[in-house]
Chain A
Amino acid sequence: MNLLLLIGLPLLTAVGVLLSRNTQQVRSIAFAGSALQLVLAIALIYLFQKERAAGVAAQMLFEQNYALFPSLNINFHIGVDGISVAMILLTALVVVAGVLVSWRVEKMTKEFYFLLILLAMGAYGFFISLDLFVLFFFLEIAVIPKYLLIGTWGSGKKEYSANKLALMLMAGSSLVIVGILGMYFGNGEHKSFDIIQLAQAGISPAVQKLFFPFLFVGFGIFTALFPFHTWVPDGHSSAPTAGSMFLAGISMKLGGYGCLRVATYLMPQGAQEYSSWIIVLSSIAILYGAFATMMQRDLKYMNAYSSISHCGFVLLGIGMLTKTAITGAVMQMVSHGLMTALFFAVIGIIYERTHTRQINEMGGLLKVMPFTMTVLFIAGLCSLGLPGFSGFVAEMTVFMGSWQNADAFHRIATVIACMSIVVTAVYILRAIGQVAMGPIKETYTRLSDASWNEKLAAAILIIGIVAIGVAPFWLNDLIKPGAEIIMNKISGK
C-alpha cells in the first residue's frame, strides 16, 4: 500500500473543503474524506498483517524514501510497523467520529472542518515518518490548528486556554528539536535524521545521557507528563467537542508515540538511566490525576484530569522497560484515545442540550436521553477498567509488564498505579449516577436524544473499544513485534 495516500487523502479533503460552496457540501466532503481514510486504515491493517503472514520480516513495511534536502541529509522517509499502524487506526476512528459530532457547527463551518482535517493530516504524517526532521514537521503542523480551533470555536476562557496550549506545546517541540539536533550532530561525521539509520548506528552513551531528557520531556509535554500537564485541563475544557476529541484522542498520543519511538528506541541507554525518574513522575501523574478528577464538578474538566491519569499509564509502561509493559503502553494509547474521544463526544451531546456541564445541575437524564446515557455508561465503564472493554486489557497489560520487574521500587510504583483504579471507579460511578439517575429537572424533560450523526459517531468508537476489549489478540499481535524490536534495543541484543 502506498503510504502517501494517508497524507494525500486528508490534503485532498482539506482542499475540497476549502473549495466547497455551502455548509452541506463542506460536511459531506469532510465526512466522505474521513470515512475513506478509515477504510484506508483498516485496509492498511489487513495488508500489513498479510505481508507479515507472508513472512516479510523487515522492521518497517511499505517503506518509501525520497531525498528532500540532500545537503543536510534530510529525506522524506516513511514506513510503518505494527505500532504506527495501530496509531493510524486510532486516528482514523477518532477523526470520523469528530467530523460526525461536529455536524451542527454553524459558525465558520468551512474553516472549522479545514482545521480539523489539517490537524488529522499532521497526525497521520507524524505516525508514518521515519525521518526525524519530517516527523518534527508534522508534529508542529498539528499545533496551530489546535490553537485556532480552541480560540475560535471554544467556550469559557478560550483565548487563555488556546494560548497556554500553543505555548506549552511549542515549548515541548522546541525541546524536541534540541534533542533531535543532539542526535544529528552526536554521531560524528555521519549526520542523519533517519530513525532506522540512527538506531543501527547507535548513539554514544554520553550523547544519550545528555539529550534523552530533552526528547522525553519535550514529547512528554504533549502527553501530559507531570508537572507539565497544566495545559490539559484548560485546553480540553475550552475546546469545542471535536477539538477535545482530537486533543485527547490523537494529539496527546503524538507525545506518547514520540516518547517511545524517538526517545526510548533511539536512546535506550538514556531511557535506562532515567527510567526511575519516568516511573516516579508517571506514578505521580496517575495518582494526582485521579484524585484531582474526584474534585471536579465540570464534566469536561473531569475527563481532562482523568486523561492525565490515564496517559500516566502510557508513560509508566514506557518507563518500566519490559516488552509487555511497552505493548501495554501502546494499547493504552489506542484504548484511551477511543475511550476519551467517546467521553468527550457524549459530553458534547449532553452540553448541546442542557447547556451546562456542571454535574450537580444535571440528573435523571436517562429518562429522556437513553441512548446518550448508555454511551456514557460504556465510556465510564471502559474508563474504570471493566473487563470486556479496551481499558481493562490495556491497563492489565501495563500492570503485568510492570510486575515483571522484581525489585521493590518497581513493585511499589505498580501498586500505587493500581490503586488509582479504585479512585477512578469512585469518580466515574458518582458522576454517572448524578447525571443519569435521580429525579429529573423540570427544564430537562423535553430534551431530545442523540441525532443520527451523533449515534453513528458513538457507535464507531464503541465498536473500536469493544473490539479491543473482547478480542485483544489482534491488537496485541499487531503491536508486539514492534515492541520487541524496541525492547531488544534496550536490552542490547
Chain B
Amino acid sequence: MDATATITKKGRAVKKHIWREVKKFKHIYIILAPTLLFYIVFRYAPMFGNVIAFQRFSITKGILGSKFVGLQNFKDFLTNYKFWELLRNTLNINFLGLVFAFPAPIILALLLNEVKRLRFKKTVQTITYVPHFISTVVVSSMILTFVASDGMINAIRQMFGGEKISFMTNSQYFYPIYIISDIWQHIGWGSIIYIAALSSVDQELYQAATIDGAGRWKQLLHVTLPGISQTIIILLIMRIGQMLSVGFEKIMLLYNPAIYETADVISTYVYRRGLLEGDYSFSAAVGMFNSIINFILLIAANFFSKKISDSGIW
C-alpha cells in the first residue's frame, strides 16, 4: 500500500516534470507542427494500405472488400524458384555499389577540395553534375549504343588491337557496365553534399595544421576527413539500409534474356509480375519484405556506428 502510493506520487512528479518540459518547448513544437502534420497525413495515414499484402486484393472490391489470405503472398515470393537468384543478384549489385559507387563522390569532393584554381574547380563541379539530369531512358539507350558491337567502346578497343566483345550478351559484363554508368551519372551530383560539408570545415584548423607542419596528405587525414566524417557515416548507414532495393527502370531498359541470370533482380521480377497480373498484393508483400530487411540492416548499421564512432542517424 505504502509502496504503491510512493510510486504514484513519483509518477505524478515525473508527469508534472515532463509537462513542464513540454511547456518550456511550446514554441519549438509549434515550429515543428506543420512538418509533423505532413508526416501524419501523407506518410502515416496511407500506411493502412499495407494490409493488402495479406489479401488477395481486387480493385473492384477495394481494400475493405478484398479477401484475406494471410501470409500467402509472402510464401509465394519466398518459395519462388527464382527467389535465391533474385536475392543474390540484388545483393551483388548493391554490394558492388557500396564498394565502388559509394566512395566515388567522396573522392571527387576531396580532390576538388585540393584544387586551388577556383575557376577550374567550379567548371568541374558544374559539368560533372550534368549527367544526373539525363533521364534513365536516354542514359540506357546511350549505354546500349556505346557498348554495341560497333559502338564506341569496341571502336576504341579495336584501335588498340583488341577483339570486339559483345558486352551486353555476356553476363559477366553486366555489373561493371551497370556500376560504371551509375558512377558516371551520379558522381558529380553525389559530391554536392560532401562539398557543402567541406565548405563548413573550420578554415582555422587548416591554418593550425599548416603551422604544425602538416603536409597536404596529413591535412586530408586529420582535418578534412574528420570534418566530413559525420556526413559520410550518415550516408553510409542509409546506403546499407537499401541493400535490398535496386531501381527497376534502368535494369529493365538494359537487360535482355541472355543475361537474366545476373541482371534479374527483385524489383524487375516484381515489375514483370505486376505487369502480367496487375498484382498489387504481391508487390505490396515483396515491398514489405524488402522494407523489413532494409530497416533491420539500417538499425544494425546505426547501432555499430554508434558503438564505434559515436555518430549515427539518431
> A and B: partners?
no
| Chain B residues within CB distance 8 Å of chain A | none
